[in-house]
Chains A and B, each alone.
Chain A
Amino acid sequence: MTINSEKLSGNLKSSNSVWKFFTSVKLTVIVLLLLASTSVIGTIIPQNGTEQFYISKYGEVFFKLFNALDIFDMYSAWWFVLLLILLAINIIVCSIDKLKTTWKIIFPDKITFNIERFRHLKNKEIFELEHDLEAIEDKYFDFIKKNFRVAIKEKLPANDDHNYKGGIAIFAERGRWTRFGVYVVHLSILFMLAGAVIGSLWGFKAFVAIPEGATVDSAFLRDNETAVELGFKIRCNSFSVTFYDTGQPEEFKSNLTVIENEKELFTKDIIVNSPLRYKGLSFYQSSYGVDSAKSALFKITSKESSMTYSQKMEIGQTIDIPESGGKFTLTEFVHGYNFQGHNLGEGFVGKLIEKHNDKHDKVNTDKQDEVNNSDDKNHTDEQEIYIPIKFPTFDKMRRGAFSFEIEDYDKKYYTGLQVTKDPGVWYVYLGFIFMIIGCWITFFMSHQTICVEMIKADRGLTIIVSGSANKNSQGMKLKVTNIVSKIKQI
């Protein structure tokens, strides 16, 4: 028995010291200091970059050191998360510990006032009044009662020793409950942290690019590029981008349709600040690009006649070249084209079948013809040509009978959507609301008590108004002055 109880008290003692450790505000200050100072690191060293980037920037040695400390992804590093956990435990323990005493203050068995305490307050004002006590005490009481939640009147007996003729004291108070404010603030932090944990456990961030007209049913996770099923389908009907006359982008807009079980549910335009939300997933406009082209407007120049012709073509369309020059088919739009080791960028690829009137020309290209061409060898040859968008004169260098350049083209875009699921966000938002309300209560409201002592004097009354508050003493001082100026007018 004795051993057991000793052991028990021993346990209690050690758990007590752990408890004590976590109730300390010193710990809070240290943890907050560490959070603040280590957070600086991640704003100076770019986060989540590539290995090559870091090695070239910091060198091999520092790269290894930083990497070992998870500096390159420091906000989810174990030591940073540990600091947040310490903060959370600190808040929980500290709040429970303090709440025990605060609870008794907020819900006392009986609200009592001590006249001596008020008499010792620094914050008081004294003035004389010509009235009789009986004539005025009720009016004073009513006024005080109107301004405070609880008001009590007490008779003060005369005391010959102190030459005290007696009178009354009116006590009043309000805002006892505001002492809860701090707990609301601290609770709110726990909500936010919980929301963050829930989000990282059951949420995801993914990305998907949808070409205009295309439909997708999955997206790719940001961290490891694995596909996640959406559970429904999203079609991008169209994407548009508009610009101001300054050249700055004005609006990015995607028109999306949600399709579930082969049924079109609804269609919505999304822009940067207005995502589409469905079944816990949100789709944000995050990027865009040119997927391909729908059609192109060509300028075709004849070498022989120097005439130029404008021709609009759809992808896949074949036209007769003017001046009976042959046939041209627009095969596809490409994002890049390698020409002698240079990438010439976006452009169109077409199939050209030129009719040749010139014999020499034909001889020159004979060899190539045999490889590429199986049709009517005597009159035509077929070749693939590339027409870049950025370099309008490029096709002239081919020295064909006709040269092609792009005057304009109709882009087919893809829209880049950020897809997120975050079931924790509501906890975070609840935390936000608590945080604001809690701060408001703690900063701008207080538990105020006031005492108006009315003492019978030789002629009339002496009135002492004193007040105190659990915070914002300056505000309370102003309040006492304010009340004095008002009750003087009664």
Chain B
Amino acid sequence: MNSSIVLSVTTFVYAFASVLYIGSWTFKKEVMAKAGFFILTAGFTGNTMGIILRWIESYKMGYGHAPFSNMYESLVFFSWTAAALYIFVELKYRERIIGVFATPLIFLAIAYASLSPSISDKITPLIPALKSNWLIAHVITCFLGYAGFAVAFGFSIMYLIKPNDSGKGLQISDNNNKTETHLHSLFSKLPSLDLMDELIHQMVMFGFLFLTIGIITGSVWANSAWGTYWSWDPKETWSLITWFVYAILLHLRMMRGWHGRRIAWVSIVGFMAVLFTYFGVNLLPGLHSYA
């Protein structure tokens, strides 16, 4: 069995998990979320095995490097970190339905890796600049950061579509509009707003810490490879921009008392910056060979 096959299967397992989570919410069946969690864990196991297999395969091919060296590998690893983080959160907070928007992100990343024609799943040798132990530290921490922000993004979306208060709910039922009432009761099935708000904050802090370490390991690495710890290349700059956005979020929340919807919006803006750092920057000139 080779890693590509394992990872393709993993993609479908994640898809199934997402469907179950969304289903549990749509049909208000807790048992589906339970099954979703189980399937998600299975997908995570497959994801882990795929990464390890790929690592072994690269040694067998004589290249011998950790599987974090191109777009395909980084996307697969992104799914892995996001899944790990989400599983941790669900276990810690014992809230099932919160996976509705987080699990699809896990699936989308690995699906994009497997299905996009512009992303090759070939194992390629490392160019000299990437040969450093800092590569592993840098990629792992950056992606833990991205995972934190991605899960925060999922929670933010959830926060925003959940109706604010019961007053609004009354208005909708006054309308006698059946689908709207249905939608409304659907959204209010989501976990409490306070919990969501707290979770967004927790995930942002987690992401911020790891993005910070990611930027730091990256710059220590740059200093050992090129002799300068900061060169304002577009990827570096965009990761700094992302970092600024989340620093702004933390201050708005801590010092200006922003909560709830407003913080959810800032978190969404932050995740857009993450996505641009990850994908958009490849359209600009720079040093990085991938994400």
Q: Which residues of A contact B (CB under 8 A)?
A: 25-26, 28-29, 32-33, 35-36, 39-40, 42-44, 46-47, 75, 196, 205, 244, 246, 248-252, 271-275, 282, 284-286, 418-420, 422, 425, 428-429, 432, 435-436, 439-440, 443-444, 472-474, 478
- Give residues of chain B (234-263) contacting chain A, Cβ–Cβ below 8 Å: 234, 237-238, 240-241, 244-245, 247-248, 251-252, 255-256
Cα-based distance from A250 to B62 in the complex (angstroms): 12
Given contacts A39-B241, A443-B205, A443-B208, contact A436 B125 (CB under 8 A): no
Given contacts A39-B237, A39-B240, A436-B212, contact A425 B198 (CB under 8 A): no
B131: interface (CB < 8 Å): yes
Q: Which of B36-44, B74-82, B176-184, B224-232 is found at the contact surface with chain A?
A: B224-232
Tell me if A252 and B128 are in contact (CB < 8 A): yes
B93: interface (CB < 8 Å): yes
- In the assembled complex, the CB of A44 is this many whole angstroms from the nearest CB of chain B, namely 7
Our pick among B124, B205, B251 for the contact of A29 (Cβ within 8 Å) is B251
The interface size bin for chain B is 35 or more
Tell me if A273 and B229 are in contact (CB < 8 A): no
**Closest 7 A/B residue pairs (Cβ):** A36-B244, A25-B255, A43-B234, A272-B128, A420-B227, A443-B205, A273-B132
Cα-based distance from A32 to B216 in the complex (angstroms): 19
Q: Which residue of B lies closest to A242 (CB)?
A: B128
- In the assembled complex, the CB of B189 is this many whole angstroms from the nearest CB of chain A, namely 20
Given contacts A35-B244, A272-B128, A272-B129, contact A205 B237 (CB under 8 A): no
Tell me if A284 and B237 are in contact (CB < 8 A): no
Q: Which residues of B contact A (CB under 8 A)?
A: 63, 92-93, 124-125, 127-129, 131-132, 134, 195, 198-199, 202, 205-206, 208-209, 212-213, 216, 219-221, 223-230, 232, 234, 237-238, 240-241, 244-245, 247-248, 251-252, 255-256, 281, 284-285
20 of the cross-chain contacts (CB-CB < 8 Å) are: A32-B247, A36-B240, A36-B245, A39-B241, A42-B232, A244-B125, A271-B128, A271-B131, A272-B131, A273-B128, A273-B131, A273-B221, A273-B225, A284-B226, A422-B228, A425-B223, A432-B216, A439-B212, A443-B208, A474-B93
Report chain A residues within 8 Å CB of B93. 474
Given contacts A32-B248, A36-B244, contact A284 B128 (CB under 8 A): no
- In the assembled complex, the CB of B99 is this many whole angstroms from the nearest CB of chain A, namely 18
Q: Which residue of A lies closest to B243 (CB)?
A: A36
Tell me if A248 and B127 are in contact (CB < 8 A): yes
Our pick among A29, A32, A428, A473 for the contact of B229 (Cβ within 8 Å) is A428
Given contacts A39-B241, A284-B227, A440-B209, contact A33 B128 (CB under 8 A): no
Tell me if B227 and A205 are in contact (CB < 8 A): yes
- In the assembled complex, the CB of A1 is this many whole angstroms from the nearest CB of chain B, namely 41
Tell me if B198 and A44 are in contact (CB < 8 A): no
Report chain A residues within 8 Å CB of B219. 432
Tell me if A439 and B224 are in contact (CB < 8 A): no
- In the assembled complex, the CB of B235 is this many whole angstroms from the nearest CB of chain A, namely 9
Report chain A residues within 8 Å CB of B230. 196
